[in-house]
Homo-oligomer: A and B are copies of this chain.
Amino acid sequence: MVGDLPVVDAETATGHVADEATVLTSGFGSVGYPKAVPLALADADRDLALTVVSGGSTGAEVDVNLVEAGAIARRYPYQARPPAREAANDGSIAFSDRHISTLGDAVQFGGLVDPDVALVEAVAVGEDWLIPSMSVGQTPAFVDSVDSIVVEVNHAQPRALGQFHDIYRPDIPPNREPVPLSAPDERIGGPRIEFDPDALDAVVETDRRGDPYDFRDPTDADRAIADNLQQFLTAEVDASPLFEDSVRLQFGVGSLGNALMGALGEADFGNRDLIYYGEVIQDGLLDLLDDGHLDAASATSLALSADGQDRLFAAPERYAEDVVLRPGDISNRPALIDRFGVVAVNSALEVDVYGHVNSTHVDGSRMLNGVGGSGDFTRNGALSIVALPSMAGDEISRVVPMVPHVDHTEHDVDVIVTEHGVADLRGTSPRERSSLLVENCADPAVREELDAYLDSVEPVGGHEPHDLETAFSWRE
């Protein structure tokens, strides 16, 4: 800690957060979020009604403690903790679900919120700069959008994390220049996020790691999905001119994504470079880096388990050679996903027979976490794959006649993979898609029932025949 920084304790720092403030927080992939000030706010005897905007998912201090204290009135754009989820679902928190790639713009120019204070974690801070910790998220856009910045400097995370960061800020439209990044592993900025020194109101010292993801071990279904995916990808990279020298992949957040990443070590892509261009580095990628299977990785978060954090912190310099962390509006930027020709692999709750995908709402009503970056990659990938188990438990098919909520439309999804097989939907009509999905992807136990639905709707006619009376009650 240097110079004349306004170092205070967390409780004092809460004085910069008004009762109804709009607070922009760091954090993505449940790491890199502020901890001490949210806890102090949750403990304060105040009547808070905060609007909390984070870059992505945060940790318990924000989405458990603050929620349970009744301190959050509005929450954007993603949450992954039961109390925040319940509050979004019962309407006690006004939650709004947004794509990651456009969040920075929406906060800074887009009329989403009228921001008051940025509350961000760092591994180092100066009078007009900070170095983010385990995730970059939307911190660059956030500190540019406010007159008041509160920084938590977390000594439990190595300052060497700065070696991962590559901070670049897009210009304001309409004179926004293209992002000058010509390869996924290139660097176009430095580790520091700069800000107006007048805005730095408080610096709080903390010494506690993030509350990380806990990945479950791969299931049999996960392994079978990974096998089907690899078989498909191996053939695809041989056939397509897009993959002559390298394969660029993104995997979604979560245990299945982590398992699919990890299984790539067994894939045979010949002499091609294997590159990750996504939003989170999960434990599976560390294995690939250790084994030399992965040539480079770009993301906005080191979304590691506690064990993964131990591995990383033991040798940050080594991993930083191959890994770049970028702001969320660069990691997820449509233009870059397009230019690098990324193969997007995301999971989902369910898919329907015509290729529409529900990623967020159980039964169309109950929100899980949010769309996150899945739309950024699915919509803009050179090849967009949705990988999911065919069943939820023993009873519920994840291949259904009609999804009751659509996050990714038929126009955006190329390929569906389950443990039973692959449906390559490219260039198919809806009727062809329904055959492929039922035959190749649905659980054998429900195929007959799905076919019966499809037969029953044929008299309705139309490009995507549906019976709106039975579309949601097909198995009754």
Q: How many residues of A sit at the interface, in one of the four size bands?
A: 35 or more
**Which of B91, B176, B382, B465 is close to A339, meaning CB atoms less than 8 Å apart?**
B176
Q: Write the A167-186 contact mask toward B (1 if CB under 8 angstroms, else 0).
A: 00000111111111011100
Among A412-470, those with CB < 8 Å from B are 412, 414, 424, 426-429, 431-432, 457, 460-466, 468-469
Chain B residues within 8 Å of A25, by CB: none
A229 to B: closest C-beta gap in Å: 16
The residue on B at minimum CB distance from A362 is B462
A321 to B: closest C-beta gap in Å: 20
A335 to B: closest C-beta gap in Å: 3
Q: Is A221 an interface residue (CB 8 A)?
A: no
A99 to B414 alpha-carbon distance, docked (Å): 12
A110 to B243 alpha-carbon distance, docked (Å): 11
One of A133-141, A187-195, A401-409 contacting the partner: A401-409
**Which of B109, B366, B424 is close to A382, meaning CB atoms less than 8 Å apart?**
B109
Q: Is A21 an interface residue (CB 8 A)?
A: no
Contact B241 A172 (CB under 8 A): yes
Chain B residues within 8 Å of A466, by CB: 363-365, 404
Contact A431 B94 (CB under 8 A): yes
Contact A96 B427 (CB under 8 A): yes
A340 to B178 alpha-carbon distance, docked (Å): 11
Q: Is A295 an interface residue (CB 8 A)?
A: no
Chain B residues within 8 Å of A97, by CB: 410-411, 463
Chain B residues within 8 Å of A380, by CB: 334
**Which of B111, B341, B429 is close to A176, meaning CB atoms less than 8 Å apart?**
B341
By Cβ-Cβ distance, the 6 closest A-B pairs, closest first, are: A173-B341, A365-B462, A178-B178, A335-B335, A367-B463, A406-B406
Contact B364 A246 (CB under 8 A): no
A sample of 18 inter-chain contacts (CB < 8 A) reads A88-B463, A94-B428, A95-B463, A111-B239, A111-B414, A172-B242, A172-B341, A173-B338, A178-B335, A334-B380, A335-B339, A361-B462, A365-B460, A365-B463, A371-B409, A402-B404, A404-B471, A408-B409
A179 to B334 alpha-carbon distance, docked (Å): 13
The residue on B at minimum CB distance from A76 is B427
Chain B residues within 8 Å of A248, by CB: 174
